[in-house]
Amino acid sequence: MSEQTSKTVFHFFLTWNDEREERWFEAMAGRGWHLAAVKAGMFFRFEKGEPRDMAYRLDYSSGRKADRGEYLGIFKAAGWEHVAAWSHWEYFRTPKETDPSPEIFTDRPSRISKYRRIMAFVLFFFFFGIWNTGNLLRSRVRFGWLWDAAIILQLLAVVILGYGVFRLALVIRKIKQGPPR
Amino acid sequence: MIDLESKARAALPLTEAAFYVLVSLVEPRHGYGIMRNVSSISGNRASLGPGTLYGALTHMVKSGWIVRTGEQEMEGERRKIYALTELGRRILILETERLAALAEIGRRILGDITGK
């Protein structure tokens, strides 16, 4: 039987769990599975290689595409390899051999602003969901069960997004109370 | 210019990262040059991660503390060069004076305590 050289794994992460995602990539790299691509934020393609002690870090970019070359250039110059991108998420890695705990953010304000960018995104859809639910409730046309289903789905989305806002606020508070680095 | 002075004062205090970026840009440098300079002038006490540096640079360009003066081709890559503006230089000077005044007070008081 031939050795498997690549595999795609489905894994669902919620936005406030990005550090758990990083630990997962690091554990995979330790077993020789190196991240190669991310599809739809849930499908991760890994390629088989030598097991290596790697640090994985995720950034949430502000999305100015015109400046992407400079953005990636600064990470590359600092020794970080850009592995994948999905939506606003950017996936970077670097070997841990020279620095056992390398970080892409080296102070509290910049770490907080990353989560504020995520928060802005989640808040937008949270309020959009509330507005949309209001529209559905006010609409005169009602399609019976289909309408009920739309309302329930919409409310569910609002609850999940609201929970996301809450969790992100906790992450930000934890950074504020944590060590400066 | 009074406007420049009040703008500069409004920017204080700086984060340590912002201070290191401004002090590095007394000479025009690209991002990598800033990171290396920060390690060197701080005797490896401080380091700037790329996410922190990129965030600081974009914020400072937007606020008019620094400008992009050009590009440098290096190892097949284009690196943007940054330099202080008049405002950025003023901010750096005021912050240095502010920190020096604080350090002076701290030294004086601590000197008294440890001197006993």
| Cβ contact B94:B9 at 8 Å | yes
Which of A9-18, A60-69, A149-158, B3-12 is the least confident region? Answer: A60-69
Residue among B47, B55, B79 minimizing CB distance to A73: B79
User: In this complex, do B77 and A109 lie within 8 Å of one another by their Cβ atoms?
Assistant: no
Cis previous bond, A180, omega within 30: no
Q: Provide ipTM, 2 decimals.
A: 0.89
For domain B2-115, say whether CATH 1.10.620.20 is its number. Answer: no
Q: Say how far apart CA A146 and CA A152 lie, in whole Å.
A: 10
Q: How far is CA A99 from the centre of its chain?
A: 24
Which of A22-26, A33-37, B12-16, B106-110 is the least confident region? Answer: B106-110
- pLDDT tens across A67-102, in order? 888 999 999 999 999 999 998 999 999 999 888 889
Provide the token pair at B35. 């990171």
User: In this complex, do B31 and A77 lie within 8 Å of one another by their Cβ atoms?
Assistant: yes
B21: pLDDT strictly greater than 70: yes
Distances (CA, A) of A16 to A120, A126, B15, B105: 13, 15, 25, 43
- Tell me the mean pLDDT in the region A52-79: 90
| Nearest residue in A to B76, CA atom | A73
Helices B16-24 and B31-41 pack at an angle, to 10 degrees, of 110
A142: pLDDT strictly greater than 80: no
Confidence of residue A138 (pLDDT cuts 50, 70, 90): confident
Q: How far is CA A78 from the centre of its chain?
A: 21
Mean pLDDT of chain A: 90
Q: Any long-range contacts for A75-81 (C-beta under 8 Å, 24+ apart)? A: A75/A104, A75/B50, A75/B51, A75/B54, A76/B77, A77/B31, A77/B32, A77/B35, A77/B50, A77/B79, A78/A104, A78/B32, A78/B35, A78/B49, A78/B50, A78/B53, A80/A104, A80/B50
Q: Say how far apart CA B21 and CA B15 lie, in whole Å.
A: 10
Q: Which residues of A touch B49 (CB under 8 A)?
A: 78, 102-106, 110
Domain residues of chain B, as ranges? 2-115
Give me the pLDDT at residue A99, please: 82
Which residues 46-85 in chain A show a CB within 8 A of chain B?
Answer: 57, 59, 62, 64, 67, 69-71, 73-78, 80
Distance of residue A112 Cα from the nearest chain B Cα, in angstroms: 11
Give me the pLDDT at residue A165, please: 94
Distance of residue A108 Cα from the nearest chain B Cα, in angstroms: 9
B116: pLDDT strictly greater than 80: no
**Which DSSP string do the residues of B40-107 spell out, in sequence order?**
HHTTTS----HHHHHHHHHHHHHHTSEEEEEEEEETTEEEEEEEE-HHHHHHHHHHHHHHHHHHHHHH
Q: Say how far apart CA A84 and CA A77 lie, in whole Å.
A: 17
Give me the pLDDT at residue A148, please: 82
How many helices (H) and strands (E) would you count in chain A?
4, 6
Give me the pLDDT at residue A16, please: 82
Residue among A74, A102, A107 minimizing CB distance to B54: A74
Cβ contacts below 8 Å, chain A against chain B, sum to: 65
| Chain A touched by B16 (CB under 8 Å) | yes
Q: What is residue A76's DSSP assignment?
A: H
Q: Which residues of A touch B58 (CB under 8 A)?
A: 62, 64, 67
Between β-strands A6-10 and B29-30, what pairing exists: parallel, antiparallel or unpaired? unpaired
- pLDDT tens across B72-90, in order? 887 777 899 999 999 999 9
| Cβ contact B39:A98 at 8 Å | no
Helices B16-24 and B86-115 pack at an angle, to 10 degrees, of 120
Beta bridge partners of A47: A6, A34
| Chain A touched by B86 (CB under 8 Å) | no
Q: Which residues of A touch B77 (CB under 8 A)?
A: 73, 76
| Chain B touched by A105 (CB under 8 Å) | yes
Q: Which residues of A touch B52 (CB under 8 A)?
A: 104-107, 110
Please report which helix (H) or strand (E) contains residue A26, including its range.
Answer: helix A18-30
- For an interface test with B, the pick among A58, A107, A116, A175 (most B C-beta atoms closer than 10 Å) comes out as A107
With CA atoms as reference, report the closest residue to A164 among A122, A117, A115: A122
Give me the pLDDT at residue B114, please: 61
Give me the pLDDT at residue A117, please: 93
Beta bridge partners of A45: A8, A37
